[in-house]
Chains A and B, each alone.
Chain A
């Protein structure tokens, strides 16, 4: 029997990596610092993950709300964006006829561009500096496939990548509201405004795997499904003290309670910061490596407010993002470490399920910077944020329907989930933290400077809100390296 593999961390990538390795015949112990598994996970699940882990047979459900988004109109009504692009175009006609006319072409172009990313996300990031001929072949294949897009699409893709989402949307549309709700997808979880370069890429990133014309990440029960699957020894609610290293190789993991779990291979879905700087003795790392890890940009900007309700609200998903300027001003506040006085709000309805008979609305509120210019994330500040959110959705959700409220600030996310500076993506999605640069050039291929220690999770390619892709790619890397050793 092969030596055990330890997978660290909760989250979808850890679950996928653990089950992927278990299916390959490895004995896997999973150490999950969290107590419970969330019922819903956002982001693209690579088709390979669904196939290989038989997720459909185990009850995977990917939500497809229709309309996928509603946005309040200035005059009191709502703009509904439907999964059917003709129907959306029809709804948009009242706002702007030219925008309605351009909508199908925009959706088609974004679908084509996202397909380029989907292909890049189904393999480890190309290592363009390699001397290994197999890797070079892989890079050449990507280059060739990209070339086959044809001139017009290739040029428009290359031009889009460094752009700001504001510039991209200004090229296509005139309606402030439409640009606002689409632009919101470009700044999600980012410490950037819609006029910042690279936000068009973020917009496209979150479109990967979505139906054409749907520009919000889908939600699924993948974590709940995987947590139910057998084959992995899963220990929840335990705290890690350190990752044990001898002679430059991992030997196991020691828990806070003193338990030592021996392992020849460790795969961590925790952030590179936590994994390498908190858990590994600094003596094993070069100063340059430490500096590079410290320089990974991760700045939390999102607060979540969970509202439980006695009835269903009148929407599936609601976005308050009336214009690009509105988003930009919301970001301006964050720039100076203030909570947005007029924030971007994305509210999502979660219907009662199983034993839980209450209705819920999960609100993602941006910008709520982790570091504040004045004060800290104390109870009164969180209450003020809840009040802001309730006021913002008041026209769409009767106040008397609210049974209870709960606020998760970026500071809470840092403490409870180990998110560096409260950033759920562990490393912000930006052009300098993308592909072979994600999260740092030397960590980009899931291996670390410690023998037998691997990384997966949001910080790792393609990461940042995709569900399970980095877990799969890290597991494949582990298996490939094992195969070579044997």
Chain B
């Protein structure tokens, strides 16, 4: 009797779901296994407190590849993205810096701080736009293996070489700088307003144990602009109903193509017979068989937990041991009785429908990083805040609000380890810091949830709580992600593939890893 499934996907995160959807769309019988009671992984919406719905972990949409939205017809399956219109950076002196989507309004605001920066802003935007267009095709490409002599890889390297050369010298050199510089140094070449440099460079440190002055942080800046140029989304957006809507839309698409999704089905190991993956075993002992198994979990869980070192070559085990996670990002979710009232911009206005960034200066961010370097959480953390209920009133009871605070740094390897008291102390630090800018915050908190990197690891299985399934540093990117030679979604175990953010091109709710993996697998199944 033929196995009921042709492919089993471990993990119902967005990449696993995207991979399953593409396979099902190509007519394959696919089963997705999710350990939790709900799909989505780090892209979930949950009603944590009666009436208050949260995007518990990831909270904005922007990087999701437009080809995925198109191919899977996600809007038809319920994805509706509302734009975030601004970024407000409150300053300790009572002033603020606001960045608006509206060009003229933005220019006026920048000119208030620096005429020179207002002039440079458009030129900067133009270059970043060109750069993100330049990097885009690379995201959708399984990386060629530079050490291989296979015609496929030689041609891949050749194509890549030609691609870079066709960019022209100016763009190639600009790309080289973006890939290697620190975000603070890169922005220093353009701007002089401290809050502008800090707020922009903050996007370079997200999810990383890096400061804005650490080389390598400039690349992540680019991600912000990739989101802005896709025709579908004008800017960073918020999924109606929370980020869980992204997952449920992808899942709906997958199911419409015939995929099966099982929740409460935690996998304990990949079943290996004669060096081949033949299926999985669940925690309760149930065996499920399929000729192809695809793991959406991060590389360490996939190889060390589901497969086991005894089945793997030493180089791979060493490589996984050296692959760095070091989660540093925490999340504080608040249910509020009223909207926060920012001293610098009082009242309820358009600024509350955008992002609020606590990043007054590059030194502020750098000091927050200094604490983390030596194993402490930041005494004055960097924060990226949104108020989903301001954009989508369905998220909270009328007049009340939900607030999503992304906070850094909260290092996984905290000195002395994370305890309940430490978690509470970190939550207090976040709220105290934010209260300096919005004094009514403290008295309006009805409920709070603080999620540290160890919590992320425990709740959704991301190793060391790294939100990108592994640091997005240069030495862990492209054909080095997660390890050289196994960066093309395949593994040394025949029939076993990887499709998580731990593979190229990596983190953010992007879906590209899932799609690239599916296309690679379909190419082999033919």
Contacts and interface: CB of A to CB of B under 8 A. Distances in A.
B267 interface: no
Interface in B210-259: 210, 213-216
Nearest to A152: B315
B299 to A, nearest CB: 15
Contact of B216 (A158, A162, A437): A162
A437 B176 CA distance: 8
A362 to B, nearest CB: 29
A295 B187 CA distance: 11
Given A152-B315, A328-B373, A335-B366, A430 B475 contact: no
Contacts of B475: 159-163, 167, 197
B176 A195 contact: no
Given A325-B374, A332-B370, A167 B181 contact: no
Contacts, number: 85
Contacts of A167: 324, 475
Interface in A179-218: 192, 195-198
Interface string A136-177: 000000000001001110110011111100010001000000
B185 A147 contact: no
Nearest to A129: B169
Interface in A317-341: 325, 328, 332, 335-336
Given A162-B475, A335-B213, A147 B176 contact: no
A215 B263 CA distance: 55
A312 interface: no
Interface string B326-370: 000000000000000000000000000000000000010010001
A197 B220 CA distance: 14
A196 B181 CA distance: 11
Contacts of A219: none
A151 B150 CA distance: 13
Range for the number of chain A residues in contact with chain B: 20 to 34
If over half of A's interface residues share one DSSP class (helix, strand or loop), that class is named, otherwise mixed; here it is helix
B121 interface: no
A432 interface: yes
A49 B343 CA distance: 66
Contacts of B181: 430-432
B215 A198 contact: yes
A295 B173 contact: no
Interface string B152-194: 0000000000001100110011001100111001000100000
A269 B322 CA distance: 42
A135 B272 CA distance: 51
A196 B172 CA distance: 24
Given A129-B169, A192-B215, A155 B147 contact: yes
Contacts of A158: 146, 480, 484
B473 interface: yes
A272 B215 CA distance: 23
A244 B374 CA distance: 54
A162 B373 contact: no
Nearest to A154: B147
A441 interface: yes
B169 A441 contact: yes
Contacts of B148: 151
A282 interface: no
B147 A162 contact: no
A433 to B, nearest CB: 9
Given A129-B172, A151-B147, 11 more contacts: A128-B164, A129-B165, A147-B146, A150-B147, A151-B485, A155-B484, A161-B475, A196-B214, A197-B214, A430-B180, A437-B177
Interface of A: 128-129, 147, 150-152, 154-155, 158-163, 167, 171, 192, 195-198, 295, 297, 325, 328, 332, 335-336, 430-432, 436-437, 441
